[in-house]
Each structure stands twice: as structure tokens, then as C-alpha cells.
């Protein structure tokens, strides 16, 4: 893929102050985009902006709580004020802190505040960003919108009920936006992310769970933030101009195989053959 494929473009990355969003912001900027790094935590966004500027890129930090429509409106107008246009929106932010995860369990035990927060930040927040960004994209002939989703949004699992429902909502939202504004030049895609080892995953996820997840990925390793950021930069760019309305797995094959694959692999290993 070519370098500096985003020269002249302006990108918003929500939740850009940490984790995958931070890496996406760095990648978009390295490809030439001017980037608004948007996060509820200003210090994180500012440190990502400082890194981008130190590398010769252009970026601005904007503190925004995506659950507030007024703050989203103010954020979008601050970006337009700073850079004059918006070409790319990466809806990356999600409520994923330990307190949120602790409250987001199976349906009978899900904490209602955790359900509401997942919906408000992950799904409603992305919708608000689309609602207030799209009119600016339409003025300049279009743009690219990307949604960070997860295998949880596609497949049933034993916990993170609210997170899963919010991620499924984003897949629908990505397709709605693609259908509604495609003819006016807006592309909209979701990426379905596998397990990516970043700062919080390193700290918060036990080794046993990481190994269990690695067994279900078809790649030798779990994902890295750069592997996600590369796809986001591609989807942001005109190199992906015929891709829209898609939910693209960027998950090391996690959602591609039979549920019986891992026990089957272990069975065959015990038998010393894969003859059925």
C-alpha cells in the first residue's frame, strides 16, 4: 500500500487518546492526514498529538464525551474551524474500562448502568458523530466512515452482553450510512476486530485467557494495534474506493472457522492423525 495516501485529508478519530485509536491516529497522520484526536481523557489525546507533531504530522486534541450531543456538535465544529473540512471519521471509542467490564456480564446479571453506558458511548456516540459529521462531508463531495466492531457483535458469548449488542448495532449503522449516503460519495465500513494486545489488554487480561483466544485465531500471534491501523488507513483512503457497506474481519481468522476446530485439533493431536 502506498505511503502518504491521505495527503490533504482531515480525519477524526474518536477514542484516539489510547489503545487502537491512538495507533490509528498516528497511522492516519503518517499518511498525511490532519487528525483530530478526540477523547474523553484530554491528557491521552494531547500526548498522541504531541507524538504526531514530533513526527512532523498535524493534529489537534479535542476533549469530548461522546454521550453528550452538545459536546459532539462542539467537537465537529472545532474540527471544521481548525481544518476547514472533514473527510474521514473513525468511530473507534468504546467504554471498556475495568468497572464497565465488571458490570457487563450475562443477561440476568448485567448491570443496567453498564448496559446504558455501552449503548450510549459505543453505539449512540458513533451515531451522533455520523449525524453531525456527514453534513460536512456532503459539502465536499463525500468521505469515509469506519466503525470499530468486534466478533462479539456477530457471535454469541457468555459475557459482555451490552458490549456485544452495541457492536452489533454498529454493523447495522455502518450499512445504513453506506446505503443512505453512498450516492453522495460517502463510504461506510465496519471492521470486526479480533483480540489485539494493547496497553489495557496487556494489563487486564489473564495469560490463560490470552492463550485461549490465541488458540482460536488462525495466525501465529494475536493482533497488534498497527495491524488494525493499517486497515483503517486503507479504508480511509481512496485506495478502498469500491469498498462500502462491508463488515470486514480484521481478526486473524477468529470468526472464520468451525466452533469445533480447536477441540478437533487437540483430538487429532492425541490420535496422531487427522484421518476421519
Q: For residue 121, give the DSSP letter.
A: I
Q: How far is the CB of 13 from ligand NAD (least distance, A)?
A: 10
Judged by CB under 6 A, which stretch of 9-17, 135-143, 233-241, 258-266 contacts ligand NAD? Answer: 9-17
Under a CB-based contact definition with an 8 Å cutoff, are residues 11 and 237 in contact? no
* E strands, the chain, in order: 10-14, 34-39, 58-63, 88-91, 143-150, 186-193, 247-250
What residue has cell string 491512538? 22
**What's the rounded Cα separation, in Å, for the pair 155 and 233?**
26
163 as an active site residue: the answer is yes
Stretch of 39-47, 52-60, 80-88, 261-269 contacting ligand NAD, by CB under 6 A: 39-47
Contacts (CB under 6 A) with ligand NAD, residues 213-272: none
Q: Which of 86, 93, 134, 178 is the binder for ligand NAD (CB under 6 A)?
A: 93
- Options 60-68, 173-181, 240-248, 252-260: segment touching ligand NAD (CB under 6 A): 60-68
Least Å distance between CB 225 and ligand NAD?
Answer: 7
Greatest CA separation for the chain: 66
Are residues 224 and 195 in contact, defined by beta-carbon separation less than 8 angstroms?
Answer: no
User: Should residue 27 be labelled a site residue for ligand NAD when binding is judged by CB under 6 A?
Assistant: no
- Among the listed residues 28, 30, 79, 121, the single contact to ligand NAD using CB under 6 A: 121
Q: DSSP letter at 268?
A: H
Which span sits near ligand NAD by CB under 6 A: 94-102, 175-183, 242-250, 258-266? 94-102
Please, what sign has the CA dihedral across residues 162, 163, 168, 170? Answer: positive
Given the complex with ligand NAD, which of 152 and 181 has the nearer CB atom? 152
* Residues near ligand NAD (CB under 6 A), total: 29
35 binds ligand NAD (CB under 6 A): no
Phi, psi of 31 (to 5 degrees): -85, 5
123 binds ligand NAD (CB under 6 A): no
Q: In angstroms, give the least distance from the CB of 41 to ligand NAD.
A: 5
Q: How far apart are CA 240 and CA 248, in angstroms?
A: 12
Residue 88 DSSP SS3: strand
Candidate residues 4, 41, 257, 265; the one interacting with ligand NAD per rule CB under 6 A: 41
Radius of gyration of the chain (CA): 19
For residue 237, the SS3 value is coil
Q: Which residues contact ligand NAD by CB under 6 A?
A: 14-15, 17-21, 39-41, 44, 64-67, 92-96, 121, 148, 150, 193, 195-196, 198, 200-201
Catalytic residues: 163
Amino acid at each position: 500500500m502506498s505511503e502518504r495516501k491521505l495527503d490533504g485529508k482531515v480525519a477524526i478519530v474518536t477514542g484516539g487518546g489510547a489503545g487502537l485509536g491512538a495507533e490509528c491516529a498516528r497511522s492516519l497522520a503518517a499518511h498525511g492526514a490532519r487528525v483530530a484526536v478526540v477523547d474523553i481523557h484530554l491528557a491521552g489525546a494531547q500526548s498522541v498529538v504531541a507524538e504526531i507533531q514530533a513526527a512532523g504530522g498535524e493534529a489537534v486534541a479535542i476533549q469530548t464525551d461522546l454521550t453528550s450531543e452538545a459536546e459532539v456538535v462542539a467537537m465537529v465544529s472545532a474540527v471544521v474551524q481548525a481544518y476547514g473540512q472533514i473527510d474521514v471519521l473513525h468511530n473507534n471509542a468504546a467504554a471498556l474500562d475495568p468497572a464497565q467490564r465488571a458490570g457487563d456480564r450475562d443477561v440476568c446479571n448485567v448491570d443496567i448502568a453498564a448496559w446504558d453506558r455501552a449503548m450510549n458511548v459505543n453505539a449512540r456516540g458513533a451515531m451522533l458523530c455520523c449525524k453531525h459529521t456527514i453534513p460536512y462531508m456532503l459539502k465536499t463531495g463525500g468521505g469515509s466512515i469506519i466503525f470499530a466492531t468486534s466478533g462479539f457483535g456477530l457471535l454469541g458469548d457468555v459475557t459482555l452482553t451490552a458490549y456485544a449488542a452495541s457492536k452489533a448495532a454498529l454493523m447495522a449503522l455502518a450499512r445504513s450510512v453506506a446505503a443512505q449516503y453512498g450516492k453522495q460519495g460517502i463510504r461506510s465500513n465496519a471492521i470486526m476486530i479480533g483480540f489485539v494486545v494493547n496497553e489495557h489488554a496487556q494489563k487486564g487480561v489473564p495469560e490463560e485467557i490470552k492463550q485461549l483466544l490465541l488458540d482460536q485465531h488462525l495466525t501465529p500471534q494475536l493482533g497488534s494495534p498497527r495491524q488494525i491501523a493499517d486497515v483503517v488507513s486503507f479504508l480511509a483512503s481512496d485506495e478502498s474506493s469500491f469498498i462500502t457497506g462491508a463488515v470486514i474481519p480484521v481478526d486473524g481468522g477468529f470468526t472464520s472457522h468451525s466452533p469445533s476446530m480447536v477441540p478437533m485439533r487437540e483430538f487429532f493431536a492425541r490420535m496422531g492423525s487427522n484421518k476421519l
